[in-house]
Amino acid sequence: MTAGAFVTRFAPSPTGPLHLGHAYSAILAHDMARAAGGQFLLRMEDTDLERCKPVYEAAIADDLAWLGLAWDGPIHHQSSKIPHYNQRLEALSTKGLLYPCSCTRTDIRAALAAPQEGVAHAVYPGTCRGRAMASRLPGDALRLDLAAALGDLAPMGLQFAETGPAHAGTHVVDPDVARRLIGDVVLSRKGEDIVAYFLASAFDDADQGITHVVRGDDLFDFTPIQVILQRLFGLPTPIYHHHPLIRDDQGKRLAKRDDARALSKYRAEGASPADIRRMVGL
């Protein structure tokens, strides 16, 4: 990376129309790139082949163009890189850091006798840990053996810089905290050979030369696992900027299916791109 380079991206999943929250994210990333004389790339995170639709992708591109956000280069599609992601995953398998897992959500809940304290989602209890890759059945997911992976990494390198308002500073990923809060995450989904979002995204950030990741605060908690994966694959760690989420009048986060706030609706009602910027506080 050249000193002072700034390459960022907007990475929507084309599973629905863009809402004000996406508009905020895209405008912010675009404006930061342009202010730094850098690049603003567009990436479709479309590995979920059932939920992602070309019609949503076309609508996203149209909304961005209407907002005046021109992206540099062609649109990058994760769906075209699935064999490439799986090939890279092989390296972890060779190192003995992956294992097949046949547990269902119900199995996992049952194995976790008591709710885990301070943990937002169920951390996998490790039922299938130790299974050989050769025992993988067609319906099995692949999990990362996190303790083994952390053992392979020098803890010194597990850190990232954050410039977003809520968490600005340097964050060190503590291996004990990672084991307790992250655990053995699924890297490849059940039987589909599609790598998890946060892995595909880490590969693409490196492949696209992303120096700055600008995205919503809801993804801040994914960053430590992405940093661990970056170290495991020898990838660079970009600078992160997690921005506040746009909420509705009731303080509820805008979800993609919240059509009432779809950008297209404001457009149809005659709002201008400047109105949208005002509405999201830019």
H or E stretch at 98: strand 98-101
Pairing mode, strands 39-44 and 7-10 = parallel
Q: Does 241 bind ligand GLU (CB under 6 A)?
A: no
Could you say whether residue 45 binds ligand GLU (CB under 6 A)?
yes
Least spacing, CB of residue 160 vs ligand GLU, in Å: 13
> Do residues 111 and 127 make contact, with C-beta atoms less than 8 angstroms apart?
yes
| Nearer Cβ to ligand GLU (44/92) | 44
Using the minimum distance from each CB to ligand GLU, give the nearer residue, 11 or 128. Answer: 11
| Count of residues in contact with ligand GLU, rule CB under 6 A | 7
- Strand 159-162 versus strand 141-144 pairing type: unpaired
**DSSP symbol at 50:** T
What sign for the dihedral angle of Cα 201, 11, 72, 30? Answer: negative
Please say which residue, 201 or 230, places its beta carbon nearer to ligand GLU.
Answer: 201
Q: Which span (8-16, 30-38, 239-247, 262-270) binds ligand GLU, by CB under 6 A? A: 8-16
11 or 187, CB closer to ligand GLU? 11
Q: Are 76 and 44 in contact (CB under 8 A)?
A: yes
Least distance to ligand GLU, CB of residue 174, Å: 22
DSSP string, 100-125: EE---HHHHHHH--SPPTT-SSPPP-
Q: How far is the CB of 272 from ligand GLU (least distance, A)?
A: 25
Q: Is 188 helix (H, G, I), strand (E, B) or coil?
A: strand
Smallest distance from ligand GLU to CB 57, Å: 12
Residue 156 DSSP one-character state: G
The whole-angstrom separation of Cα 205 and Cα 68 is: 24
Q: What token pair was written down for 244?
A: 């506040």
Among 13, 47, 188, 237, binds ligand GLU (CB under 6 A): 13
SS3 state of residue 249 = coil
Nearer to ligand GLU, 13 or 237 (CB): 13
- Binding track, positions 200-239, relative to ligand GLU; x by CB under 6 A: -x-------------x---x--------------------
**Nearest-angstrom CA–CA distance, 205 and 41:** 10
Comparing CB distances to ligand GLU, the nearer of 136 and 215 is 215
Distance, in Å, from the CA atom of 64 to the CA atom of 260, rounded to the nearest integer, reads: 18
Contact stretch for ligand GLU (CB under 6 A) within 9-17, 110-118, 174-182, 235-243:
9-17
Choose the stretch contacting ligand GLU; rule: CB under 6 A; options: 5-13, 136-144, 162-170, 180-188. 5-13
- Under the criterion CB under 6 A, does residue 12 sit at the interface with ligand GLU? yes
Build a one-symbol-per-residue string for 152-181: x at contacts with ligand GLU by CB under 6 A, - elsewhere. Answer: ------------------------------
What is the Cα–Cα distance from 222 to 197, expressed in whole angstroms? 10
Instruction: Determine contact, residues 224/178, Cβ cutoff 8 Å.
Output: yes
Q: Whose Cβ is closer to ligand GLU: residue 11's or residue 228's?
A: 11
Binding site for ligand GLU (CB under 6 A): 11-13, 45, 201, 215, 219
